[in-house]
Amino acid sequence: MALDLRPLFADAGDLPARTPSPMAAAMQGSAILAIAGEVRALRAAGEAVANFTIGDFDPSLFPIPEALVAGIKAKLDAGETNYPPAVGMPELRSAIRHYYKERLGLDYPEGTVQVGSGARPPIYSAFRSILAPGDVVVHPVPTWNVRYYVHLNQAEGIAVVTKPENGFMPTLDDLLPHLPRARVLVLNSPLNPSGTVIAEDLLRPVCEAIIEENRRREAAGERPLILLYDQVYQQLVFDGYAHTTPVHLVPEMAKYTILVDAISKAWAATGLRLGWAVAPPWIIGRMKPLVGHMGAWAARAEQLATADLLAAPESTDAFMNDFRGTLQSRLRRLRDGLLAMKADGLPVDCLDAQGAIYLSARFDLAGRRLVDRTVETDEDVRSVLLHGAGVAVVPFTAFGYPDRTGWVRFSVGSVSDADVDAALSRIRSLLA
């Protein structure tokens, strides 16, 4: 008979409060996952809900490349099931460098790539390798999860509020007052949550200011300012827009830039957990043991299959053209429907879909009575859209943006065109 341990855990007294470290005790959970839980409960109760919340893909709508599936199976059949090197398989690291040279115009030498199980371990290990407790991390808002990594590293975060007219990207004027104190600056393009791409005329002066600040620090013997540039959506930039990197614009930035990338969003392969950082060798050398001790490496077979596809990127071009085109079409279908409501005088607006899988929209509902409540906060906006129109979105407050702006994120990775049309119809009925 098994020993029933439930009474011990149910009567633990104050032990749960005394056990965690102060850092772990103060760590917050994901607001997006909390919203997703509410959506699941409504669906389980039989409610019709169009789920625009998660930055993931429905495999029935967006399967991963067939060549990747076949490649992983072939590597497993060949017995590629051992531990990979902590820094990543040499074939994959070489293929990443080849891809960056051929597609991004950046010729990185050996020793500049760290592979991880998704983009998160390279991001965490980069922060951990650079930051000391109390160091300053400057990051624009809205942005994905940066504040959690700041907390994990006991750093000081400075959130810079951006404007919709700049695509929620920071300008040099926004950032310049904070650069002298900053140890790390984080930028993301295409941006989660807004689905916008940073323009060259915004990025170039920021890079030039980083170079100037680092020249000052070098003369003073101070630690450098590092740019962490999250470009995990860089293959999903739409027609009419272009992706660029800080290193391409200002080559000297190569000494101070960590590029973060992954196959998770580019190939709809979120569950395969394969990402990487490309950075100066002296930073990679510090990251390698951290990733190794965490055991946060991607599976060997997946690394080798990904290496084959990156080494011959033309093999995925047809997949990417179709995948990117479908995402762009779906996002712009959503955009056009919202802008049609705006043209009819309804209180909604949105930005263009420039990249990634997101559309940013604003609902000007403050003071209105909807679904038995008076809308005041952005959480109210989210709630009335969910309960009044069966449309689940994420408010920008979940990404650190100030409250009461009305901005929300739509994600189209798990919805069809029919889902978009039905959601638009219900939103129109609610607002009208």
Looking at the fold, whether 372 and 247 belong to one and the same domain comes out as: no
Which CATH number is 209's domain given?
3.40.640.10
Looking at the fold, whether 347 and 388 belong to one and the same domain comes out as: yes
Rounded to an integer, what distance in angstroms lies between the CA atom of residue 107 and that of residue 98?
8
How far apart are the two ends of the chain, measured CA to CA in Å? 63
Looking at the fold, whether 139 and 278 belong to one and the same domain comes out as: yes
Number of structural domains the chain divides into: 2
Smallest Cα–Cα separation from 146: which of 184, 176, 108, 195?
184
Looking at the fold, whether 333 and 211 belong to one and the same domain comes out as: no
Looking at the fold, whether 380 and 269 belong to one and the same domain comes out as: no
Q: Where are the beta strands (DSSP E) in 266-347?
A: 275-278
pLDDT beyond 80 at 418: yes
**At which residue do the structure tokens 């959690």 appear?**
148
| E strand or H helix that includes residue 261 | strand 257-262
Tell me the pLDDT tens digit for each residue of 321-367. Answer: 999 999 999 999 999 999 999 999 999 999 999 999 999 999 999 99
Looking at the fold, whether 304 and 407 belong to one and the same domain comes out as: no
Q: What is the structure's pLDDT at 8?
A: 86
Q: Which class for 177: exposed (0-12), middle (13-18), buried (19 or more C-beta within 10 A)?
A: exposed
Residues 313 and 102: beta-carbon distance below 8 Å = yes
pLDDT beyond 80 at 28: no
Q: What is the structure's pLDDT at 425?
A: 98
- The structure tokens listed for 47 are 């409610």
Tell me the pLDDT tens digit for each residue of 85-127. Answer: 999 999 999 999 999 999 999 999 999 999 999 999 999 999 9
Q: Is 404 left (phi over 0), alpha (psi -120 to 50) or beta?
A: left
Looking at the fold, whether 247 and 102 belong to one and the same domain comes out as: yes
pLDDT beyond 90 at 39: no
Rounded to an integer, what distance in angstroms lies between the CA atom of residue 108 and that of residue 101?
7
Q: Examine the fold and report which residue of 264, 283, 314 is the final residue of a domain before the chain moves on.
A: 314
Residues 58 and 411: beta-carbon distance below 8 Å = no
Is residue 217 assigned to a domain? yes
Looking at the fold, whether 247 and 346 belong to one and the same domain comes out as: no
Peptide bond into 16 cis (omega under 30): no
Q: Examine the fold and report which residue of 282, 314, 346 is the final residue of a domain before the chain moves on.
A: 314
Length of the chain: 432
The larger pLDDT score, comparing residue 183 to residue 14, is at: 183
Looking at the fold, whether 253 and 139 belong to one and the same domain comes out as: yes
Q: What is the structure's pLDDT at 34?
A: 78
Please tell me the least confidently modeled range out of 7-21, 170-184, 379-393: 7-21
Residue 399, phi then psi, degrees to nearest 5:
-110, 20
Rounded to an integer, what distance in angstroms lies between the CA atom of residue 277 and that of residue 287?
9
Q: What is the structure's pLDDT at 355?
A: 97
What percentage of the chain exceeds 90 in pLDDT? Answer: 87
Is residue 8 assigned to a domain? no
Looking at the fold, whether 379 and 404 belong to one and the same domain comes out as: yes
Q: Give me the domain span that covers residue 303.
A: 82-314
**At which residue do the structure tokens 């690394």 appear?**
303
DSSP state of 47: -
Q: What is the structure's pLDDT at 31?
A: 76
Residues 85 and 111: beta-carbon distance below 8 Å = no
Name residue 183's amino acid. Answer: R
- The structure tokens listed for 176 are 């310049």
Residues 393 and 36: beta-carbon distance below 8 Å = no
Which CATH number is 394's domain given?
3.90.1150.10
Is residue 69 assigned to a domain? no
- The structure tokens listed for 239 are 């027609």
Is residue 68 assigned to a domain? no
Q: What is the structure's pLDDT at 201?
A: 97
Residues near 321 by Cβ (< 8 Å), separated by ≥ 6?
Answer: none
Is residue 77 assigned to a domain? no
**Average pLDDT over every residue of 398-417:** 97
Q: What is the structure's pLDDT at 232?
A: 98
Residues 146 and 137: beta-carbon distance below 8 Å = yes
Is residue 208 assigned to a domain? yes
Smallest Cα–Cα separation from 176: which of 202, 148, 150?
202
Is residue 73 assigned to a domain? no
Looking at the fold, whether 306 and 323 belong to one and the same domain comes out as: no
Residue 376, phi then psi, degrees to nearest 5:
-125, -50
Tell me the pLDDT tens digit for each residue of 138-172. Answer: 999 999 989 999 999 999 999 999 999 999 999 99
Tell me the pLDDT tens digit for each residue of 246-262. Answer: 999 999 999 999 999 99
Q: What is the structure's pLDDT at 37?
A: 80
Tell me the pLDDT tens digit for each residue of 376-401. Answer: 999 999 999 999 999 999 999 999 99
What percentage of the chain exceeds 70 in pLDDT? Answer: 100
Is residue 192 assigned to a domain? yes
**Average pLDDT over every residue of 57-71:** 97
Return the number of other C-beta atoms located less than 10 Å from residue 66's C-beta: 9
Residues 410 and 334: beta-carbon distance below 8 Å = yes
Q: Examine the fold and report which residue of 288, 314, 340 is the final residue of a domain before the chain moves on.
A: 314
Tell me the pLDDT tens digit for each residue of 261-291. Answer: 999 999 999 999 999 999 999 999 999 999 9
Q: What is the structure's pLDDT at 226?
A: 98
User: Is this structure's pTM higher than 0.75?
Assistant: yes
Q: What is the structure's pLDDT at 46?
A: 83
Q: Which residues of 333-353 are buried (b: 16+ CB within 10 A; e: fewer)?
A: bbbebbbebeeeebebbbbbb
Looking at the fold, whether 341 and 295 belong to one and the same domain comes out as: no
The larger pLDDT score, comparing residue 205 to residue 33, is at: 205
